[in-house]
Structure 1
Amino acid sequence: MELSTPPGRREVRKADRRRTILEVAERSFLERGFADTSMSTIAAELGGSKTTLWSYFPSKDDLFAAVLDSKIESFRTALDEALIPTGGTTGALSRFGHVFLNKILSPSSIALHRLIVAEAERFPAMGETFAARGPDRVRSRLCRYMEEEMAAGRLRQGEPITAARQFVALLQAGCYLDRLWRPARAPNTDIDGDVASAIETFMRAWGPTAK
């Protein structure tokens, strides 16, 4: 078995620099908004030149996409691990629901969602980037799971993407909407209750004996 070569100092420094850029960019996007964040302001906060920043990311759009990718990478891995057969369909959906809600209810995710809603009308490319890298990927992964469960007879036959969309919508129907639209209120979080309710409703519609 061939061992991989550890990265050299230059590669490590470059990776560290990239992480720092993404951290500064994320903070700037959330605090200033997409419109008022520029490559110049990010470069100034980093203490370097725009040329150096451009060597990592050719444009603000590319930088924003990279911020989204950095936030969802570990999340996607957690969703993959949640959708394993252990515990049957309800067990997998419960794990998925808890991972999903804990992620989208985090302060940074709520702030990002509000940013997208506020600015997607003026910057449709930003909204498209978020949709493609976030919600679309989550639904696509869940859709594959639904397709497998339907093929195994553990869910009734139907459109897997419809089942995936409906389950995600059920998960978001409770405390997530309160947290998103009522920032002045104390957080009202009942993830366990929301997941249990979503699964009960979903299985009534999509369970193997559902009509």
Structure 2
Amino acid sequence: MGLDKNHCFSRRELRRQDRRESILAVAAESFLDSGYAGTTMSGIAATLGGSKGTLWSYFSSKEELFASVIERATADYRALLSEILEAPCDDLALTLKRVCASILEKVTGPQSIALHRLVVAEAGRFPEMGVIFYDRGPRMTHTLLAKFLADEMARGRIRNDDPLQTARILASMCVYRTQQQLLWGVIDHTTPEAMEADVDRAVDLFMRAYAL
């Protein structure tokens, strides 16, 4: 009997997880298509075909729902970045190139560009969404990279500086051209060659400034 109860509980949990994923997928599409202001809990519930009460049982507010959408969009990348930073490698420049390539690939993807435009366009009216986006996106990336750079400073491979500020400098240098051109609509796509050039330039400048 105990096994049957556990089995039923597991199935209920799986159904709940599947339902949550469905909500997040619909919400992500709504935020990108209709904006933060134009997205409502009622509208999402109607798209899903359920009641607003059911939706509220998963997310207590639109702000919480937006936070979960951002978390869903960034979780896989944080895992990838951690894997890159933790991989044994004596070539610091090579590791930093891998890091910068991963950052640039992430922020130049169509969904990332659309999300970034959304946040910039609406954060003035809804500052909470800007905070959520920063906390679960750039801040976490910078924090992971800062820990790695702090370890490199402690090993005497790069000069001492504020690790978090150093991480922000490196991340900014690798995205300054291609990402900004995509955001502004100057270009509608990029190429592997252009991204590789951006990464090489960023790491070269960083190593000139910080390598001992």
Q: TM-score band (shorter)? A: over 0.9
Partner of 2:28: 26
- Aligned position for 1:57: 59
Q: Given the alignment of the two structures, is residue 204 of structure 1 paired with residue 203 of structure 2, yes or no?
A: no
Measure the CA separation in 2 of the matches of 1:30 and 1:161. Answer: 30
Q: 1:124 corresponds to which residue?
A: 127
Normalized per residue, the structure richer in helix is 2
Equivalent residue runs for 1:137-152 within 5 Å? 137-152=140-155
Q: Deviations over 1:3-50 (max 9, x none)?
A: xx8872111111110000000000000000000100000000000000
Structure 2 residue 29 is matched with structure 1 residue 10: no
Q: Runs of 4+ in structure 1 displaced over 2 angstroms?
A: none
Aligned-pair CA distance for 1:87 = 4.4
User: For residues 23-102 of structure 1, what are the structure 2 equivalents within 5 Å?
Assistant: 23-84=25-86, 85-102=88-105
Q: Which TM-score applies when normalising by structure 2?
A: 0.92
Aligned to 2:157: 154
Structure with the bigger RCO (C-alpha within 8 Å, sep 6+) is: 2
Matching residue of 1:113: 116
Deviations 1:150-207 (A, max 9, x none): 0001111111112111101101122111111116x34133211111110000001111
- TM-score when normalising by structure 1: 0.92
Tell whether 2:169 aligns with 1:166.
yes
Instruction: Tell me which amino acid in the other structure corresponds to 2:157.
Output: R
Partner amino acid, structure 2, of 1:33: G
- What is the alpha-carbon root mean square deviation over aligned residues? 1.4
The 8 Å contact of residues 65 and 129 in structure 1, kept in 2 or not, is answered as yes
1:187 corresponds to? 189
State the SS of the aligned residue for 2:37. coil
CA offset digits 1:37-67 (Å, max 9, x no partner): 0000000000000000000000000000000
- The one-letter amino acid of 2:209's match is A
1:176 and 2:179 correspond: yes
User: How many residue pairs end up in the alignment?
Assistant: 203
Instruction: Measure the CA separation in 1 of the matches of 2:150 and 2:156.
Output: 10
Paired with 1:112 and 1:38, the residues of 2 have a C-alpha distance of 17
Alignment partners' CA distance in 1, 2:173 and 2:122: 26
